[in-house]
Amino acid sequence: MVLIQSTGVVPPMAVIITGYIVNFLLAVALAGLAFGVKVAAIHDNGWRPLALAAIATILISVSSLAAILLSGM
């Protein structure tokens, strides 16, 4: 986060909003742990669902960054 913010490419408001999103996702992850998400069940499904989640996250991040840059924020 510091590296991205120090480049000046992303506007300060986008960094603030991203911080809120990160905090929300961290809270959701901790809630998932508290509600008993079974890590073994995730492991049993193999690497493909995790790869799909990683690819989706990267695509969403890149498209969001492109939208921000194209909008001139």
Buried-exposed string 59-68: b where 16+ CB fall within 10 A, e elsewhere: eeeeeeeeeb
Write out the chain's pLDDT in tens, 73 residues. Answer: 677 777 778 788 888 888 888 888 888 888 877 777 777 877 788 888 878 888 998 898 899 888 888 887 6
Cβ atoms of residues 7 and 65 within 8 Å:
no
Cβ atoms of residues 64 and 4 within 8 Å:
no
CA distance 46 to 25: 23
Q: Is the pTM of this model over 0.75?
A: no
